[in-house]
């Protein structure tokens, strides 16, 4: 069976991507910190879709994380890896100067360095499969600066640019790269980012479900598309950022996110 490796697979968008990949016939390699939640996803993949899943409970911000995941993946997928999903990530809500620097650097390690390190380490295995796919989970925040989510938005802009550049370099190699940029999605993201209940309530009004986001992401991935923004509202909003002057876009974003600080 073809194998798919998903980071941040214990809950939220990663969990839904894992189960949707199982439904499409992939066996799973699941990585996150929470062993119990990973086991629960593995059991669901088996019960619902009769697919096997191996789990690795690991803090992906550890300096050796990418090497550890890569050797674990090589052990499970000697004939090649069909799908790599770089999904694990989180945001930190607050002004750059007021947030703890170490925490912000930890976020960058997970959101940006880890996908680079893991993709680099796994490309030989991805090339070994007849056809393979990389899905990088960015955000609509990749398309604009977002005051009070400044470094988070910057990390996702990096991921979008990285995805597009790598995709071009890999043309004709059999490895396709897609960037999935969700807007607000009902997961633990807001809590982890330290967003207050008022801001989360605003986000909830326009949120998609993680299952909807996962379905849109996989449809684009297997169609070989470069980018996908799930949801009409998110598509329109992200599209406007390329035509509306940046100071106006930033003022609107600040009006939403800074207002509740
Ligand atoms: N929800 C949104 O509104 C939204 C919008 C746009 C983009 N996104 C992006 O979607 C991706 C998934 O987030 P989500 O919304 O599904 O949030 P979530 O429910 O908080 O899930 C985050 C996942 O990342 C894992 N993770 C976090 N820190 C980790 C670490 N140090 N080592 C290993 N795994 C770690 C978590 O597992 P453990 O805690 O078990 O380690 C969990 O599986 C992120 O990249 C996020 O930026 C989310």
Radius of gyration of the chain (CA): 18
Distance from Cα 189 to the centre of ligand 1, integer Å: 6
Whole-number pLDDT of residue 94: 97
CB of 119 shorter than 6 A to ligand 1? no
Rounded Cα distance between 261 and 259, Å, is 6
Give the sign of the dihedral formed by CA 227, CA 160, CA 149, CA 248.
negative
CB of 142 shorter than 6 A to ligand 1? no
CB of 134 shorter than 6 A to ligand 1? no
CB of 115 shorter than 6 A to ligand 1? no
Please enumerate, as own/partner, the contacts of 73-76 that have beta carbons within 8 Å and a separation of 24 or more.
73/3, 73/5, 73/29, 73/122, 73/125, 74/125, 76/3, 76/29
CB of 110 shorter than 6 A to ligand 1? yes
- Residue of 133, 152, 168, 260 with catalytic role: 152
Whole-number pLDDT of residue 1: 86
Distance from Cα 169 to the centre of ligand 1, integer Å: 28
Q: What DSSP line would sit under 44-72, residue for residue? A: HHHHHH---EEEEE--TTSTTHHHHHHHH
Let me know if 90 is a catalytic residue. Answer: no
Distance from Cα 192 to the centre of ligand 1, integer Å: 9
DSSP secondary structure letter of residue 239: H
Whole-number pLDDT of residue 90: 98
Mean pLDDT by 10 residues, the chain (261 residues): 97 98 98 98 98 98 98 96 98 98 98 98 97 98 97 98 98 98 97 94 94 98 98 96 96 90 87
Among 5, 89, 152, the mutation site with the greatest number of ligand 1 atoms within 8 A of its Cβ is: 89
pLDDT digits (tens, 9 = 90+) for 89-138: 999 999 999 999 999 999 999 999 999 999 999 999 999 999 999 999 99
In terms of C-beta density within 10 A (0-12 exposed, 13-18 middle, 19 or more buried), how is residue 191 classed? exposed
Helices (H) and strands (E) in the chain, counts: 11, 9
Residue nearest to atom 17 of ligand 1 (CA): 189
The per-residue pLDDT of the chain, averaged, comes to 97
- The ligand 1 atom nearest the CA atom of 89: 45
- 27 C-beta neighbours (distance < 10 Å), count: 19
pTM over 0.95: yes
């Amino acid at each position: 069976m073809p194998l798919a490796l998903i980071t941040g697979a214990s809950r939220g968008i990663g969990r839904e991507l894992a189960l949707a990949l199982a439904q499409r016939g992939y066996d799973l390699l699941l990585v996150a910190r929470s062993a119990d939640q990973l086991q629960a996803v593995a059991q669901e993949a088996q019960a619902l879709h009769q697919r096997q899943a191996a789990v690795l409970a690991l803090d992906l911000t550890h300096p050796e994380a990418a090497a550890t995941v890569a050797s674990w993946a090589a052990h499970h997928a000697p004939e090649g890896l069909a799908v790599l999903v770089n999904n694990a990530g989180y945001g930190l809500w607050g002004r750059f100067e007021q947030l703890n620097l170490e925490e912000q650097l930890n976020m960058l390690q997970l959101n940006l360095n880890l996908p680079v390190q893991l993709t680099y380490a796994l490309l030989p295995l991805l090339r070994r499969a007849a056809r393979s796919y990389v899905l990088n989970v960015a955000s609509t925040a990749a398309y604009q600066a977002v005051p009070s989510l400044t470094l988070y938005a910057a990390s996702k802009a990096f991921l979008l640019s990285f995805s597009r550049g790598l995709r071009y370099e890999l043309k004709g190699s059999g490895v396709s790269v897609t960037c999935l940029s969700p807007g607000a999605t009902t997961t633990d993201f807001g809590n982890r980012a330290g967003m207050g209940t008022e801001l989360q309530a605003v986000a909830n009004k326009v949120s998609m479900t993680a299952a909807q986001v996962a379905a849109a992401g996989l449809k684009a991935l297997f169609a070989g598309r470069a980018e996908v923004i799930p949801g009409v509202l998110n598509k329109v909003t992200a599209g406007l950022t390329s035509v509306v002057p940046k100071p106006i876009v930033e003022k609107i974003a600040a009006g939403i996110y800074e207002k509740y600080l």
